[in-house]
Amino acid sequence: MIEVKDLNVDSLQCTITFVYEDQQTDSKILERLKSKKVFEGKSEQIFYRTTNDLNYEIFVGLGKYEELERNDFVNAIAKAMKQAEKLNVDNLGIYFIKVKELCTGATTKAIVEGVKLSGYKFSKYNKGKESYNPYVTILGAPKEKAGKMVEKIAEASNVIDGVILARDLVNEPANILYPETLAERAALVGKESGFEVEILDKNEIEKLGMKAFLEVAKGSIHEPKLIVMRYMGNPKNNEKIGLVGKGLTFDTGGYSLKPSTSMDTMKSDMGGAAAVIGTMQALAKNKVQKNVIAVVAACENAISGGSYKPGDIIGSMAGKNIEVLNTDAEGRLTLVDAITYIIEKENVEKIVDVATLTGAVLVALGTEITGVISNNDDFYDELLVAGKRSGEKFWRLPNDKCFKKLYKGDFAELKNTGGRNAGTITAGMFIEEFVQDKPWLHLDIAGTSWTDNGNDCTPKGGTGAPVKTLYELVVKHVCKHSK
């Protein structure tokens, strides 16, 4: 639990104080530490001591005031929380501090993020790794802002819970989480959070003509599920935004088989699905006054005598024929049918698809920046604003018509891969062929949805990206109109 309160610090087991390297403080202890160069407030520097009451004081360096960015602050909070966890503290206070370019509300949300994400552990199958959830009080906050801060704590907590849900879904092994059980999880989340979930089975998917989706799914013993989530937060308004998440609960690569060293993390190939489910939970819990439809085409890409093969020509819900050159380029096939569905059956005005789509995006952008393809400058600009608010980073790649020749088919209208060159771009542009000129964003999260190294905010495994940004992208108009 996190709250804002003025109380006697003697009642707390620990206090956390943030210190700028280039600012003086009123604390004689801190000034003495600085003068002796024991603790100078430098970025990522941390120091703790025991007080006379046998409690703890943790000091965390933020570096120079002008250089501190939002994510640096979140990471500093997480580092302090990790230290408190090592000290077995379960009741602590965090002193509020001014952060450049962050208002009081944004600073409060950053504190919530650092506190909650630093304590996250996927401990379901490892009973010795329990999540760390101490009682936290924000101290020294502006009294006139206390009411607003309480609201921001509640909002941010629900958003970060959405991130944690996405992490949990990604971290589940594929023998536990497959299309049917993913659909069941989504239905449970909808029931608990307040949005409608409809699950379509194989027969219903066939009736819709989702041929590309079914081709990918047919090699697995687990039947596909189309998961449709509807949150109507503003029923007086007909405008609806659509979120489409790639839902490959496991991807072997099919007959274009992945090497074993690339397959052990393929339970994470439904990171896009996890992100949109987590976003829907956050929107519903915060009662955001927007209408959002989310669709996940959930399946496994497995190998059997019935699997689709390189050289096959397959159909799609949109009526376009596709030449299959690589069965490991399967995510785009499921996405295009889901996008056709969300346009033609759910009547959305804008579309964001989120997918762990290409290894090429890691080569281009690494693990901290999500690659973007878009057909609409204004919509992309809205994404950048949302990313600035969330702390998640994005980079737009070109979708120039010169790339179209790479994925034009020889024996069908399209082929499902454009080859090695510009792999992230051609994968996104292949999807663009099905968006029917709707404002559209394609987010390739293959690099950002999973981490092998981990840090104070994110242990090894699913990251929950980009739940925070999707949430901010949806609520932006509400914020604008409510001022």
Reported as a single tens digit per residue, the pLDDT across 105-116 is 999 999 999 999
Does residue 209 share a domain with residue 125? no
Alpha-carbon distance 391 to 275, whole Å? 16
Q: Are residues 134 and 251 in the same domain?
A: no
Mean pLDDT of 419-432: 97
Same domain, 420 and 304: yes
Would you say residue 129 has pLDDT above 90? no
| Beta-carbon contacts of residue 61 (< 8 Å; ≥ 6 apart) | 19, 21, 39, 40, 41, 42, 43, 44, 45, 46, 76
What digits encode the pLDDT tens for the residues 218-250? Answer: 999 999 999 999 999 999 999 999 999 999 999
Residue pointed to by tokens 């889901």? 338
Question: Which class for 363: exposed (0-12), middle (13-18), buried (19 or more C-beta within 10 A)?
Answer: exposed
303 inside domain: yes
Residue 149 lies in a domain: no
Which CATH number goes with the domain that contains 233?
3.40.630.10
Mean pLDDT of 386-392: 97
Average pLDDT, the chain: 96
Least trusted range by pLDDT, from 4-18, 218-232, 265-279, 406-420: 4-18
Identify each DSSP E strand in 85-224 by its residue range.
Answer: 91-95, 135-139, 196-200
Q: How far is CA 365 from CA 16, 355, 424, in A?
A: 35, 15, 11
Read off the CATH number of the domain in which 103 is found: 3.40.220.10
Asked if 108 and 173 sit in the same domain, the reply is: no
Co-location of 312 and 423 in the same domain: yes
Among 107, 139, 171, residue at a domain's last position: 139
156 pLDDT band, cuts 50/70/90, is very high
Q: In which band, very low, low, confident or very high, does the pLDDT at 331 lie, cut at 50, 70 and 90? A: very high
Structural domain boundaries, residue 135: 2-139
Kindly state whether residue 406 falls inside one of the protein's structural domains: yes
Same domain, 362 and 412: yes
Q: Is residue 430's pLDDT more than 80? A: yes
**Nearest CA among 71, 89, 84 for reference residue 11:** 89
Do 221 and 352 have their domain in common? yes
The angle, 0 to 180 degrees and rounded to 10, between the axes of the packed helices 146-171 and 271-285 is 150
Give domain status of residue 154, yes or no. no
Say if residue 259 is in the same domain as residue 166: yes
Task: Please check if 246 is assigned to a binding site.
Answer: yes
In terms of DSSP bridges, do strands 322-323 and 414-415 run parallel, antiparallel, or are they unpaired?
parallel
- 53 in a labelled binding site: no
Determine whether the annotation assigns residue 368 to a binding site. Answer: no
Write down the pLDDT at residue 54: 73
- In this structure, the answer to whether residues 80 and 193 fall within a common structural domain is no
146 in a domain, yes or no?
no
Domain count, the chain: 2
Q: What is the pLDDT of residue 477?
A: 53
Q: Is the pLDDT of residue 482 over 80?
A: no
| Residue 480, pLDDT score | 39
In this prediction, residue 479 has a pLDDT band, given cuts at 50, 70 and 90, of very low
- For residue 186, being part of any structural domain is answered with yes
pLDDT tens for 48-80 read 999 877 799 999 999 999 999 999 999 999 999
Residues 2-16, mean pLDDT to the nearest whole number: 91
269 labeled part of a ligand binding site: yes
In a domain, 439, yes or no: yes
Which residues are designated catalytic? Answer: 258, 332
